[in-house]
Amino acid sequence: MTSPEAAAFEQWLAEATRGLPQPLAKDVRTELEAHFEDAVEDYLTAGRSPAAARTAALADLGDAETVRHMLHKVHLSRDERLIAWITWLVPRLWQHRAVIATALFGLLALSVVVADHRHWIAYRGHPDPLTPLAFGFVLLSLLLERRLTTWSYPAAGYLLSGIWPWLFFEGFERLGGPFWDIVAPLVLPGATFLIWGISGLRTLRRTAGRRGMAIAWLLVGLLLATKLATTAVQLRDGALVFSLSALSATEIRVNAPWVLYLIVMSLAPVAIGLRAAQRDGLAAVLIPMGCQYAFFVGIADPTYHLTFYDAWQPSRTLHTVEALVTYLPALMTFLIAPLWMLRTPSRQGRTTASLVPSGTTLILTHILSAIGLAHTHQAYTAATWLSSGLESLLYLLPILLAIVLYNRFGQDEAILAHSVDNTAPALADPNRNVTART
């Protein structure tokens, strides 16, 4: 069996000779091996233990990267060095594709959001540059790895957040035509319900007879009821009105599709959570959820209000706040939360990474929005604050519920064929953090 010191030397040699043409690499290896053996012999003669002798000899050789760099300068032309660098870089980029793709999408999303927030952010029905980009990321994931990979989750979350206004509001209507008239109200919500139904059934079947699961679904029911109630909360004459009973039959019919859609979108990640957690850990559920909720409630809603009043009463303050309300949540949602979750090694860390940026996003945007609106006659009242606070809490609930479910069932051997290795960074390598139970 190879000793750790010998393995370390092998690694050193591989690094020092990497990128050199084969015959030359072989010669250099022979020379360095002879040097290493001579040094080890001398240290042994001096009374060191074999392990200590190898460690000291390796330390004397110095930094392998420096040696490689010098060897490349001597033996390779500029073009050859470039090729060696690319062949070194590509596998490493692929190895860290989760982090790179997440960061890339995050940065692109940020730049798009910041560059054009006034024109489309509040009306996601507009064709916006980020939607094709998000589709591209999801498509790339399917083509390259034949599944929805973890690095495509922020993009998937963005697409999820864009579905509802596309279905029920003016953005959709602009598309026009009988095809979209049918697709919007029937096919897309139908498909969403179908996905939720199938994944929910699967989850229930896998957890049959478990008391914890029943409690979890009670919580889901509670959430659903809360969602219905608070969706129906409206501000009338500066007062909070639970207006479900006050709504006319027409109003209920008009509001029903998107209320239902919101309910499904809240529950779907929870329902599919356990299955997704089997493969990629909790982050698989929480990243798209975080993106969806934070984008929807954190960016779209507050920006909509600000844009509305800014259009009516143009103000530099409002415009600045609009930019902040757009930029900060986008930063949290697309960059900080996913990267934090990808890199954190512990379950607690991932939980924090999923809750803190989302929570901060939701609270921050409402505060900023209130500051901006204070410059108009539409300043926040106590009732507005309460309504916003409830809404923010509501959107954090599904995330919290997913965490509870994951911690309760995510590691359960009877449910899962695989376990998630919580000592590894969550998504550094989609295949690395999943280890088969034997």
Partner 1 sequence: MNMTGSLPLLILHALSRGASYGYAIAKQIKASSSDVLDFQEGTLYPTLHKLEKDGLVEAYTTLTNGRQRLYYRLTEAGERALEAERAAWMTYARAVNAVLGEAK
- Give the interface with partner 1 as residue ranges (CB under 8 A): 16, 27-28, 30-32, 34-35, 38-39, 42, 60-64, 66-67, 70-71, 73-75
125 vs 169: CA distance, rounded Å: 7
According to DSSP, the β-strands at 239-242 and 418-420 are unpaired
> CB of 14: closest distance to partner 1 in angstroms?
13
- Which residues have a Cβ under 8 Å from the Cβ of 42 and sit 6 or more positions away? none
- CB nearer to partner 1: give 28 or 396: 28
- Which residues have a Cβ under 8 Å from the Cβ of 33 and sit 6 or more positions away? 13
> CB of 89: closest distance to partner 1 in angstroms?
22
> CB of 31: closest distance to partner 1 in angstroms?
6
- CB nearer to partner 1: give 67 or 99: 67
What distance, in Å, lies between the first and last C-alpha atoms of the chain? 24
- CB nearer to partner 1: give 72 or 126: 72
- Which residues have a Cβ under 8 Å from the Cβ of 410 and sit 6 or more positions away? 274, 277, 278, 282, 416, 420
Q: What angle do CA 38, 39, 40 make, to 5 degrees?
A: 95
413 CB-contact burial (10 Å; exposed 0-12 / middle 13-18 / buried 19+): exposed
- CB nearer to partner 1: give 30 or 346: 30
> CB of 396: closest distance to partner 1 in angstroms?
53
- CB nearer to partner 1: give 24 or 163: 24
> CB of 13: closest distance to partner 1 in angstroms?
10
Altogether, the residues listed in the chain come to a count of 438
240 vs 209: CA distance, rounded Å: 42
> CB of 50: closest distance to partner 1 in angstroms?
18
> CB of 8: closest distance to partner 1 in angstroms?
14
- Which residues have a Cβ under 8 Å from the Cβ of 334 and sit 6 or more positions away? 105, 106, 109, 110, 154, 158, 291
Strands (E), 237-364: 239-242
- CB nearer to partner 1: give 85 or 242: 85
- CB nearer to partner 1: give 16 or 318: 16
